[in-house]
Amino acid sequence: MSEDAVLYQVDGRIATVTINRPERRNAFDSPTKDALIEAFVEAHSDPDVWAMVLTGAGDKAFCAGADLKAFDDAAKSGKQYRETPMEGPGRNVFEVLLEVYKPTIAALNGPAIAGGCELALACDLRIAATHAQMGLPEAKRGMGANFGNVVLGRLIPRAIAFEMLYTGRYISAADAAHWGLVNQVVASEKLDETVKALAEEITANAPLTTRRYKEMMVKTWEMPTPSALRMNVGPNPYQSEDREEGARAFVEKREPRWQGR
C-alpha cells in the first residue's frame, strides 16, 4: 500500500483510511485508487476490525474525485482513458467500498465532489463538517458518475437526484442533511471526536450482528420484501457464542465481552 497517498491506521476495533493528497484536494489518480482498494480489502478482511472510517487529509476537501490534471496529462500524451469496470480483472473502487461488510463511516472534512462524492455515497454513514459540500459535476466535465448515477436516486428523492446530476450543482452540508445524504453536521473542530464516538458506539455492539446487518442491507437493496426476507447472508448471530454472551451479560447486569464468534 502507498504510504503517502493513502494512510491506514487501526485504533482498537476501528480502521481509519485517509486519502493523503491535500495538495491535490485529496483527488485520486490510479495509484491512489489502487491503494484505496488495498486499504478497503484489508479492513474487510481483518477480523479485529469491526468498523471503518474514511476521510481526507487536512480541512480543504474530503476528496475532489479523480485527478483531472492526471487525466489531462494522459490525454495530451495520447494515452487512452481506461475505466475500471464493475467486472473483470480490476474491481471498481466504489464497489469494493460498498462491499466492505462492516459498518463504514465517511468523515467529510471538506467538499466531497465527483468521485469523492461517490466514495461518500458508498459508505453506510456520513458525518459532515459544516463547510463540506457534496456534488456530482460530471455533466460539466463530459464524464459519467456511473456509481453516483445508480446510487444517488436510491438515497434521496428521484427529482432531487436528477437535479444534482443534470445541473452538476453542489449542495451544502445542511442541505445534504435535509435530504438524508448525511447523518449529522458538526463544526470542523468537532468532526473527529464525533466520528470517533459514533464508531466506538457501533463497535461496542456485537460484530457478527453488525456484519449481518451490512450484508443484508447491501445484498437485498431494492429486492422485493418476500425475496429479501428469504435471503440468508452474512454470519448468523443466533448460532454464535456472542448471542449466549449477550443474554448472559444482560442477566448479570454487565457489559458483554464479544468474541466475534
Contact indicator for 29, 70 with CB cutoff of 8 Å: yes
Instruction: Say what the pLDDT of residue 91 is.
Output: 83
pLDDT at 2: 44
Catalytic residue chosen out of the listed positions 118, 189, 215, 222: 118
User: Residue 132's closest CA among 193, 200, 181?
Assistant: 181
Indicate whether this model's pTM tops 0.75: yes
Domain coordinates in residue numbering, the chain? 6-203, 207-251
Residue 135 makes CB contacts below 8 A (sequence gap 6+) with 111, 112, 113, 114, 117, 164, 168, 169, 170, 171
Reading phi first (left if > 0) and then psi (alpha if -120 to 50, else beta), residue 253 is in left
Catalytic residue among 23, 83, 138, 189: 138
132: which 3 cell numbers? 463540506
Distance CA 134, CA 111 (A): 6
pLDDT in 10s for each residue of the chain, 261 residues: 445 899 999 999 999 999 999 999 999 999 999 999 999 999 999 999 999 999 999 999 999 998 776 555 544 455 554 555 444 446 899 999 999 999 999 999 999 999 999 999 999 999 999 999 999 999 998 888 999 999 999 999 999 999 999 999 999 999 999 999 999 999 999 999 999 999 999 999 999 999 999 999 999 999 999 999 998 888 899 999 999 999 999 999 999 999 999
pLDDT (0 to 100) of residue 67: 75
Please provide the CATH number assigned to the domain covering 6-203: 3.90.226.10
Whole-number pLDDT of residue 4: 87
pLDDT for 1 equals 45
- Note if 118 is an active site residue: yes
